[in-house]
Structure formats: C-alpha cells, structure tokens
Chains A and B, each alone.
Chain A
Amino acid sequence: MEMTGAQIVMKSLKDEGVDVIFGYPGGAVIDFYDELTRTDIKHILVRHEQGAVHAADGFARVTGDVGVCMVTSGPGATNAVTGIATAYMDSIPMVIITGQVPTSLIGNDAFQEVDIVGITRPCTKHNYLVKDVKKLAYIIKEAFHIARTGRPGPVLIDIPKDITNSRTEYEQPGEVSLRSYNPNYKPNMKQISKIASLIKNAKKPLIFSGGGIILSDCSKELTELARKTNIPVTSSLMGLGGFPGTDDLWLGMLGMHGTYCANMAISECDLMLALGVRFDDRVTGKVDAFAKNATIVHVDIDPTSIHKNVPVQVPIVGDCKITLSVLNELLDQEKPEIIKPERKEWLGQVSEWKTGTPLAYSQSDVIKPQYVVEKLYELTKGEAIITTEVGQNQMWAAQFYKFATPNQWVTSGGLGTMGFGFPAAIGAQMAFPDKIVVDVAGDGSIQMNIQEMATAVQYGLPVKIVILNNRFLGMVRQWQELFYKRNYSSTNMEHAPDFVKLAEAYGAAGFRATKPSEVEEVLKKGLATPGPVIMDFVVEREECVYPMVPAGAPITNMLLV
C-alpha cells in the first residue's frame, strides 16, 4: 500500500504500541499533526517543548514503556534538548520525533533549521536524520528497539518535511538486526557463584542498589535476596522504591544527603553488592575514602559503568534481573542457616546507627518542609506517585517519603533539572489517571515550567503540586550559608506570584498554609479537590537539608542537624 511519510510514522507508532504522545506542532511537523487526527493516538498539547519531553519521560518512568514526544524543527527541537539530556542521564527509554526543514534546504540556514542531530549527539543514546522515506518505517522500529533494550535511553529521529509528505510503497519492516549493537544481558555464571561465596563469608555485607534495579524491573528479586541473606540495603537517589522503604533492612538513601546509617554502613562494610548503580560523585563523595574495606561486586548492563569511578573486584556485565534470579537460585541450594545467618553484630551495629542518628528536624511555630512531606506520606498512605523538582524539595521528598514500590518515585537524578517534576507528573498522571500524582516542588523550580498548568487543566489531569515555599533558591542558599559565609547572592526569590491566585488564573484550585496547624488541613483539602491543585506551604526560610556531606569530602564527613 502506498503511504506518506506521515502515515508511516503513525502506523509505526501504533505498531510499537504507542497510544499517547506529548508534543507541540509547527510547520515542519504539520503533516504528522494532520495525520494524527485520523488515528486513535492521544496527543497531549503541552505549553513548552521541554514540558513535552519531561512528560514523555514521566510516562516512561512510571510505566517502564517508551515515552514518545514530537516537536517541530528549529526552536521546537532546541527547546526539547534539556528534556532529552535529562532522560539520557537517567537512562529513560524515549523516542523523540523532530521535524526538519526539507532535505533540499538542509545546510542552508533555512527558516527554523537547526542541526538537532548534531546538537543531541552527546545526549541521546542514538539519533537519526531520515533521508529516504523508504527507510522511515525501519528506522522507527530500530529507534524503539535501541531506546528500550540494553541500558535504555532517548533516541531522536529527525524527519525532513519532504520525507514526511512524500509517498512510498509501505512494507512492514522485518526484525531489527544490528551487527554493531548487541547488549549483553547474560551474566557470567562463574562470577555469580563468586558472589554467592562472598555472601556466605561476609561479616558486614551491604547491598547498594540503583536505578538499574527499577529499569530492569527486579525489585522483587532484590527484596528476595536481601531478606533471604539478611543483608541491609541502601540505594542511590534513583534506586528509591527498588527496595521497600518500610523494611527493617532498609537503611535509607546514600550519599551527599543520605542517612547517617547508610553512609556509615558503606564505610564499614566488608562486602558491597552494587546493583545497577553508576557510582555518581553525589553518592561516593571522595572516591579514595569510599567503601575502603569492602570487596565490591558491581552488576551493570552497561560495561562503561564498571571501573569508571570506583575500582571493583567482581565486575559483572549483565541484566540485574537475570543476575539476581540466578543468584537467588544458587543460594537456595544452601542450608538456610548458611544463606540467612544471624549477622547479629553487623545488624546490631547498623540498627544502632539507624536509631541513634535518624533523619531529624526540629519543630517550631513555622512550617518545616520535612513535616509537610511526612504528612503527605501519611495522608497518601505512601501510595502516591511522587515527582519532584530539584533542590531541597527533592532531597526532603527522598528522605521523608518512604517508597514501598518501584516506579513510584520520579526525579531528575543525573542532570538535576529544575522544572522537571511538574511536566513529569503530567506524563505519570496520563499513564495512571486513577493514581494520586504529586509534584513536590520548590518555589524556584515550579516557576520554570508553571505554564504546564494549562496542560493539566485542559486534559483534566488532577496533578497535585506541593510547593515547599521558602522564597529562596533553597539548595543554592544552603551552600551559600554553609560554604560562602551567608553571602546570599541571587538566591532570594521573594518576588513571586501568588501561587493560589496563579492556580485559579489557570482554572485550577489553590490553597495555602502558613502555620504548622494548617498543614494537614490544606493537604487533605488539596488531595480531595478534583483536578489540578497547587498547595503553597510557606515554610521556614532558612531550613537546611541534613545530613550533608560537603562536595568532595568522604561520605562519613556528615554535617548533622
């Protein structure tokens, strides 16, 4: 059958199982938009292309499917770059379709031309400029394949306008086969038996789990392993929810704003099982002092992650899910007391750290941001999907909301993108219309993509925004307080909109709490109000996130409350 490029794109998206895309039209993609109305694919019209990409990203993070977005050439494409880089850093499967000027004009500085393939080369897993309509269907199939396999990531397809509206005989593309791309899922079995024997002999073992656990969908296997062997678990920011935050073996997050317990345990452990992590500097602190006493086992699908920042003794390239299933089976062949020793001393020590120096804050007659997050946890029974912006709000959400399940925690870890949380919440809500989706925000970050209120209202997406409003760019202010003698250079955000009125201006609801006694009531009202809601919590201005490890210091150098 003869089809236009635009029709091929729609057909291919359907074949990949896509039923929602996030985007913004323009001249170079107008044919796609025309064709879109003749499909049953839902399109969410955002208010800024960055919002489209973050929304697709949020959708991908909560579903595990590929998120899809579509933007026009030139400014549309460049507006998308921050979103693409965000997804790339966190290994989120995504396909971005950009329009491009007609082939004959490429390279001529044509109207709305930009070399988006060149611009996004370092922040996509792969990208394409389509030059032949005959190859379009196969390229799309390949793009989805690359986005979702191995270490997932965003893949961009740039389609010139003439390709979009030229016609070709459509042929269903065959299986993707790339001689240059074959991710290795199967771990080396010998190495796995090595882990088993290390576990049996370790006195102070620890599991450090990361975003890879969520991406490879092996939270169950991880939980089984930890409980079966009595090994305590900590995780990176991206790994939250991979292991139940309510479990006795859970130590809390690790790193710069990690718990005292987790950071001490890392420094003392004699065996570290690092699963799907990449040893970011926010986690390791000073590398030379990191886990000095430990034999490190590192499992990762991406060989470049291994030995990149930290030397490891047992490297395993492979899928975490497969690795953990095999390991669990191997361990099951042992006597129960061997797999699950008492580990009295170690667990005792760990629990002493945990109860002795818990996450803490002191109440006062001003609202404490931590208190808001704690209340939010209570009132949502720990079941909400929480997205965050970036800064103190993100860290408090990570510390005080206990994530029981994976894909419930949506945050920009690798890039730390302010403005991520709200559009990501829109994407997550699109995926799960019936779940409670809350964006925990700072007053600074929320202003970066606040225009997406209109999107939430237009599509009736009942996203709740909890602003921890300290009238500062709080996290930067915290650094200025601690390391720059309180020289608050350009972090004062006193001039801000009235967020309640702003919500109302967009046709949403807004509530404000200024006293601790109002927190619960406002949260209850906000969560119970249908449609999108902004809840503005006027919090302690100069509250800091603790513990804090100064950048580059050993992670045991914690500043505590």
Chain B
Amino acid sequence: MNEEKHILSILVDNEPGVLSRIAGLFSGRGYNIESLSVAETNDPKVSRVTMVTTGVAQIIEQIKKQLHKLVNVITVHDLTGKAYVHRELVLVKVYTRPETRGEILRIADVFRAKIVDVGNEHYTVEVTGSEDKISAILKIFQPMGIKEIVRTGPVALFRE
C-alpha cells in the first residue's frame, strides 16, 4: 500500500491543551506529523490547525476519525484531492559575498521574495508560496550557502 501525503484543515476549540491533545494522539498512536500550524480564526473561540501528514489510506482514515473523536475538535477536512489554495512562509538566511549580493536580489525578485534583513555576511529572505516554489528557491540558494532557515509548514483553505 502506498503512503500518501494529506493536508488536513482542522477547526478546534481555542482552549489550552487542545494542541497537546492533537499532538498526543499522533505520538500515542504512532502517526506521523510532517508539519503543523495553528492560530486563532476570525472567531476567537476557534482555532484552525493545518496539518500535513503521511500514511497509507487506511491510516489516513483512522487519523481523521480519531481527530474527530477528540471532544475539542469541531471539524476535520481533508483538502487533498480537492481544490484548495495553500501557502507556506519561509525565512532563509543566505550568506552573501560582495559578488553574490546582486544575484540574490535578482533571484528574490524573480520569486517575488523580499529581503527583510541585511547583515554583514547574510541577507534574510522572506518567501511565501507553494511547496514547489519554496523548494526551488532554496535549491538555488544552496550553493551560496544557507546559514539558517525557518518554515511554517503550509496553511491552506478550500477554494470557493
């Protein structure tokens, strides 16, 4: 059976402990979390969790049902296979040398990324976009030397 990657969009009560219930469910049952992002929605009583997980179809089904069984989980939507928009934010510190600075600016421009901080030896570049786009820009920066990165993991919404 094939492992599949799924994006789940989960609405939960905005209460302390809810995230730990979700994380505990995954660790306790040996499910895989690839990324997780959580924040309040327009309704302050509700938070949205966007989660990327992988597993064979039967495990994905269990994950969704088990999540739904948690008392604080309101809805679980599997976006995979549906029309949705998703974005991920990455901050990347790239090493700079006098001769590469222009190049980095040009690349940033092509990817509609922004230089958000300039240091003696590096630029910090902010990129948002699909996973593909982010991998692509990181690949280009790689040879110049990446000092550090931080990624949010995707957030996603149904397309209407």
Whether A303 contacts B68 by the Cβ 8 Å rule is yes
Indicate the member of A118, A179, A180, A303 with the most B CB atoms within 10 Å: A180
Closest approach, in angstroms, between the C-beta of B62 and any C-beta of chain A?
6
B63 nearest in chain A by CB position: A304
Closest approach, in angstroms, between the C-beta of A279 and any C-beta of chain B?
13
The answer to whether B72 has its CB under 8 Å from any CB of chain A is yes
Whether B69 contacts A307 by the Cβ 8 Å rule is no
Scoring A residues 178 to 197 as 1 if CB is less than 8 Å from chain B, else 0, what string do you get? 11110000000000000000
The answer to whether A125 has its CB under 8 Å from any CB of chain B is yes
Scoring B residues 24 to 46 as 1 if CB is less than 8 Å from chain A, else 0, what string do you get? 11001000000000000000000
The answer to whether A524 has its CB under 8 Å from any CB of chain B is no
Whether B74 contacts A179 by the Cβ 8 Å rule is yes
B72 nearest in chain A by CB position: A180
A125 nearest in chain B by CB position: B71
Closest approach, in angstroms, between the C-beta of B144 and any C-beta of chain A?
44
Which chain B residues border A304 with CB–CB below 8 Å? Answer: 62, 65-66, 69
Closest approach, in angstroms, between the C-beta of A223 and any C-beta of chain B?
30
- Give the secondary structure class of B's interface: helix
Of B12, B66, B71, which is within 8 A of A126 by CB? B71
Whether B20 contacts A303 by the Cβ 8 Å rule is no
Q: A180-B74, A307-B58 are in contact. Are A122 and B12 (CB under 8 A)?
A: no
The answer to whether A501 has its CB under 8 Å from any CB of chain B is no
The answer to whether A515 has its CB under 8 Å from any CB of chain B is no
Closest approach, in angstroms, between the C-beta of A25 and any C-beta of chain B?
27
The answer to whether B143 has its CB under 8 Å from any CB of chain A is no
Whether B21 contacts A181 by the Cβ 8 Å rule is no
Chain B's interface size range is 10 to 19
Interface size on A, residues (CB 8 A): 17
Whether B24 contacts A303 by the Cβ 8 Å rule is no
The answer to whether A146 has its CB under 8 Å from any CB of chain B is yes
Closest approach, in angstroms, between the C-beta of A131 and any C-beta of chain B?
9
Which chain B residues border A129 with CB–CB below 8 Å? Answer: 17
Which chain B residues border A118 with CB–CB below 8 Å? Answer: 20
Q: A121-B21, A122-B24, A122-B28 are in contact. Are A180 and B61 (CB under 8 A)?
A: no
Which chain A residues border B13 with CB–CB below 8 Å? Answer: 180
Of B24, B62, B66, B73, which is within 8 A of A180 by CB? B73
A117 and B24 CA atoms in complex are apart in Å by 12
Which chain A residues border B69 with CB–CB below 8 Å? Answer: 302-304
Which chain B residues border A122 with CB–CB below 8 Å? Answer: 24-25, 28
Scoring A residues 113 to 124 as 1 if CB is less than 8 Å from chain B, else 0, what string do you get? 000011001100
Scoring A residues 121 to 155 as 1 if CB is less than 8 Å from chain B, else 0, what string do you get? 11001100100000000000000001000000000
A205 and B28 CA atoms in complex are apart in Å by 37
Of A117, A121, A126, A307, which is within 8 A of B61 by CB? A307
Which chain B residues border A308 with CB–CB below 8 Å? Answer: 62
A305 nearest in chain B by CB position: B65
Q: A122-B24, A122-B28 are in contact. Are A180 and B58 (CB under 8 A)?
A: no
Which chain A residues border B21 with CB–CB below 8 Å? Answer: 121
Of A178, A181, A303, which is within 8 A of B65 by CB? A303
A179 and B45 CA atoms in complex are apart in Å by 11
Of A180, A302, A303, A307, which is within 8 A of B71 by CB? A180
Closest approach, in angstroms, between the C-beta of A145 and any C-beta of chain B?
10
A180 nearest in chain B by CB position: B74
Which chain B residues border A179 with CB–CB below 8 Å? Answer: 74
A308 nearest in chain B by CB position: B62
Scoring A residues 99 to 122 as 1 if CB is less than 8 Å from chain B, else 0, what string do you get? 000000000000000000110011
A258 and B156 CA atoms in complex are apart in Å by 50
A350 and B66 CA atoms in complex are apart in Å by 38
Closest approach, in angstroms, between the C-beta of B119 and any C-beta of chain A?
37
Closest approach, in angstroms, between the C-beta of A89 and any C-beta of chain B?
13
Whether A178 contacts B61 by the Cβ 8 Å rule is no
Q: Given known contacts A178-B71, A180-B12, what 6 new A-B pairs fall within 8 Å (CB)?
A: A121-B17, A126-B71, A180-B13, A181-B71, A303-B65, A307-B62
Seen from chain B, the residues whose Cβ lies within 8 Å of a Cβ on chain A are 12-13, 17, 20-21, 24-25, 28, 58, 61-62, 65-66, 68-69, 71-74
Seen from chain A, the residues whose Cβ lies within 8 Å of a Cβ on chain B are 117-118, 121-122, 125-126, 129, 146, 178-181, 302-304, 307-308
A-B contact pairs, 12 of them (CB 8 A): A121-B20, A121-B24, A122-B25, A129-B17, A179-B74, A180-B13, A180-B71, A302-B69, A303-B65, A303-B68, A304-B62, A304-B69
Question: Which 6 A/B pairs are nearest by Cβ-Cβ distance?
Answer: A126-B71, A180-B74, A304-B65, A303-B65, A122-B28, A181-B71
